[in-house]
Structure formats: C-alpha cells, structure tokens
A and B are shown apart, each in its own frame.
Chain A
C-alpha cells in the first residue's frame, strides 16, 4: 500500500457542488458532488458512456458545465478567461490517446508550454524536462520524435510533459486503455511513483490492481451519476450498490 501523505488540516483542492452538464438535450452529468483534498488519489470507474471523461474534463474546463459550482484551487470556474488559464496551469491532464505533438521532439513537447505559458528561460525548462524525463525513465529518448516511440513510452512522455508545468492536480483519462498489455505496467509504475510523491490525482481507469494499491477512494459512475464512493477495501469487498456489484463482477471475473 502507498502511504497516505495528505495533511489532515486539508482544505479541498477540488470542490464540485451539485453540478449538472448537458450535451444539447442530453443530460450527461447529473447532480455531481465531489470533494478532493490535497494529496488525495481518486479512481473513477464505471461503464463506457457513463460520463467519466466528461466529469474530469469539466475540472480543467475542456468541457463547460451549465449548472452548479466547480471550484479548483480556490478559483471558481466561470466564463472568465483569466481564471481559465490560471486553472489549466495548476491542472495537468493525460489522455487515453497521448496527444503528443508529433512535429516536435520529445524534449520540445516538454518545454513548449513551460517556456511560453510559464515564461521559463529555455535552459531552465530543458533542465527540468530532462529531470522529469529521467523520472519517467526515458531520458535517452529526449531528441527523438513521438512517432519513433512505443505507446508506453509515449504515454510516459505525456505524463512528463504535464508535470513540466508543475501542476498541483493531475487528471488521467484511461491512460492505459490504448496500450498493449506489456506496456501497461510501465505506465502504471510511473503513476504509482507519482502518487507516492504526494500528487493529487484523479484517475479514470479500469485497472483495479492500480486502484487497490493507490486509491484513497474509488468512485463508481453510471448514467451520469456518482452511484457510489468508498475506500478501496469497502468498495471491492462490500460494495453498497447493486449496480456496483454487477459492474465489479463483470470486470473482475475474467
């Protein structure tokens, strides 16, 4: 088990209150209420189409909610553009399909935003990028292009790229779903290390081994609602909700 380093005087870094979202007429997120404390690791699971991606994309405002509040790092998400960039600086995101910039080298992928968004001098940004690439164990690939790397390596670059912005919160949207089985572990190991360093993480994943090992709490979503939120032990051994039970039996029994 990963030791829990969160401080107990904790004030939530993410607070979502009675939030609703629609795509046109489609009510995709319903009455979401969620608190995430500094250093907390939360795993979100649920069937496909249940709104997991939409929920975490609302947190860095890749999607816009229509009702309720989302407060990230004391900043309320609203239409104000200034807040928007302040939020995105604090929140890193890792995508299922990596989304590396194919025309830039691995190193440039990592330094672009620090130089232009944070205003770091190039040399400093490169030093930090190399440090983080070492942390995800691919410093030797720094001058290659993303297309020359394996899926697992690309996803680790994507993690390093996000970390280069020194975010307070990291969002992961099914980071291992597009990977071949032998590469899943290298990415999960990187994420476990990150969790151990005390990063606040929201992870959408079906890797239940990872959830058991790392999560402080697990959320089960279905049809746009948070059906159940529990600590891993209760979640896996005594789930409260029938639908959670059914879902767990489906993904664990094969």
Chain B
C-alpha cells in the first residue's frame, strides 16, 4: 500500500480504522471480543429469552385481573392473580379513608405534583409563582387531609392508610429533615461549644438508636416530653421521629461535604470581607450540598422505605394493607402478588428519586463542561 506523503504541519485528521467505533465496533468489543465471550453472549441471550418468556406469561398473558377469590382465579388461568390488588386498589391508595371524601386526597396528590415541581426543577417556567403555591401547599394539604375546617368533614387518623400514608410520612419527613440536617451539620462544625455539643449529642443519639424504638417511643411516650397542654396526633409524632432520624444521617453526609471543601475557599471568602453567614450561604453550603447529593438521596430513599415500619404501631401503610388483604380467607396464599405489587410501588418511587439525583448532579457539575 502506498502511503501519501504530507508536508510537516499539513497532516490531516483521519477517520479511525473501520470497525472500531459505532454499533458494530461496540458490539464487537463488548459482546464478541473472543470465542468464550461470544459463547457467553449467546448463552445469556438464550437464558434471557426463556426468563422473559416465563415472566411475561405469569405477569400478563396468563394472569387474571378480576375475580372474586383466589379459587376463582385459579379456575380462569394459571398466572398471577392480580384480583387481590384490583379488588382492593382503593384501600391500597387511600387506606380506610371514607369513599365520599377521597376526592380530597386526589387533590392533595395532584397538588403535590405542582408544589414539588418548582422545588425540584430550578429552570421551570413560572417558577416564581409556583413557589408561592409550594409555600402554601403544606397548609392546604393539612386541611384537606385532616378536615374539620371550611365545612370539610373531620377524618380520624386511624382511617389513614395505604400509599397516602406513605406519602404523608415520607414527603413530610424528607422536607423537614433536610433543613434540620443542614442546621445540625453546621452546628457540629460551629466554634460555639454549646451549639456544637448539642448537635453532636443529637446526631449520635439518633444514629445510635434503631428507628423502630423511636417509633414505639412516638406511639407511647413522646407526649411526656412535650410542653404540657400540647397533644400531638400520633401521625405528627411519627413524622417528628422520622425527621429526627433522617436529619441525623443527613447531617453527617453534609458534614462530609463541608469537610471536602478546600481551606482556600474560606480564605478567599474571608479576604473578600464576607461574614460567616455569607460564606456559609454562598460558598460552603452550595458546594457541600452538591457533593452530598448522592448521600442525601440515599438517606431519603432509606427514610421512604422505612415508612413501612409504621406497621408496628398499628398504622396501615401499603404493606399493612397487603397483609390485611392476605388475612382475608378469600385471598389467602396470594402473598407473591401482594408483596410484588407493594415492592413495585416502592421501587418506582425510589428509582425516580435516584434518577432525579443523577440528573441534578449532572446539572450542577461545573468542573468541566
């Protein structure tokens, strides 16, 4: 092969050799790079085919979506018996909230979407207006859920349950634990001995105790510690415990982020005449929070899944509703379907949080864009 001769300084940028890039290149280097790799690839595809075939069959093709009992299900087809879910879908979503009032919860769900959007997406159009709504949303939601005001029927807390309960505890816990966690992290780094000691004690205590014991405390004795005359509902007490517990973890995650900031950042801020609070607000926290996103979201996901623990103090979250359904003789023995469904619900929520955190990390990455 005759190579072209180029004058020095005029060598062109050539395309890479054929078959090293693109779909073909990727397939070749990742799936069929050697004989053993090729065999493994083919074997995996065959295995995957049978697996997926079986799964789709059980989940969808051979499944029964409506029936009166498990026995009837089995008469119709051999797959999953989703009737246990479809017949009780209302309970899974609203718990025992009265049918006639469920529209209130629907509004709360829809409102949550609009209230969280401007907090989660800083570039949203009309964000400024939606933020006002976000600010008022907790009060609106509280009144709608609880009732007793503006002619809304008051609903007993022991009727709350299902996904609605998960969302109430999970979202309140997440929203309250973040600011508390930030304050604890700053407190732990404070030069004031008193502030520092309190923060350290709080964090170490909360992290050193199983959440389930905190929930028992909430259910039985928290009112002793509250100022006399106050009587928080069990739900508020549970939310407080979840908040404290998660805040302790978040504080430690953020402390790690704060410690990762180079000393030079503080010196630069100081030499520009910025005060402690200015430095904290504009330099320390934005950088520390950015580093801490994976850890914080990790804690949120943990908190969200831990809401299933409320079953031990008699609150019926989706898992509790599922167990109640299984206790019904009609649906006895359908635990696979029930638990899979509950698991799917949690997976979807947690996976969304995880994806959001990745997106946010990317968006905030200013290192080399």
Contacts and interface: CB of A to CB of B under 8 A. Distances in A.
Interface of A: 60, 62, 85, 88-89, 91-93, 95, 97-104, 112-113, 116-117, 145-148, 158, 161-162, 165
A148 B264 CA distance: 19
Contacts, number: 73
B366 A95 contact: no
**Interface residue SS majority, chain B:** helix
The 6 closest A-B pairs by CB, nearest first: A99-B268, A113-B272, A99-B264, A88-B273, A145-B366, A93-B271
A101 B267 contact: no
Contacts of A91: 271
B19 interface: no
Contacts of B311: none
A66 B265 CA distance: 25
Contacts of A104: 282
Given A93-B268, A103-B364, A147-B367, 13 more contacts: A99-B264, A99-B267, A99-B268, A100-B268, A101-B265, A102-B367, A103-B286, A103-B287, A112-B274, A145-B369, A158-B268, A161-B272, A162-B271
Contacts of B262: 97, 99
B278 interface: yes
B191 interface: no
B290 interface: yes
Contacts of A103: 286-287, 290, 364, 366
Nearest to B265: A99
Contacts of A99: 262, 264-265, 267-268
15 contacts: A62-B267, A95-B264, A95-B267, A97-B262, A99-B262, A99-B268, A101-B283, A103-B364, A113-B273, A116-B274, A117-B273, A117-B274, A148-B369, A162-B272, A165-B273
B18 interface: no
Interface residues of B, number: 23
A49 to B, nearest CB: 18
B13 interface: no
Given A62-B267, A95-B268, A99-B264, A113 B368 contact: no
B272 A165 contact: yes
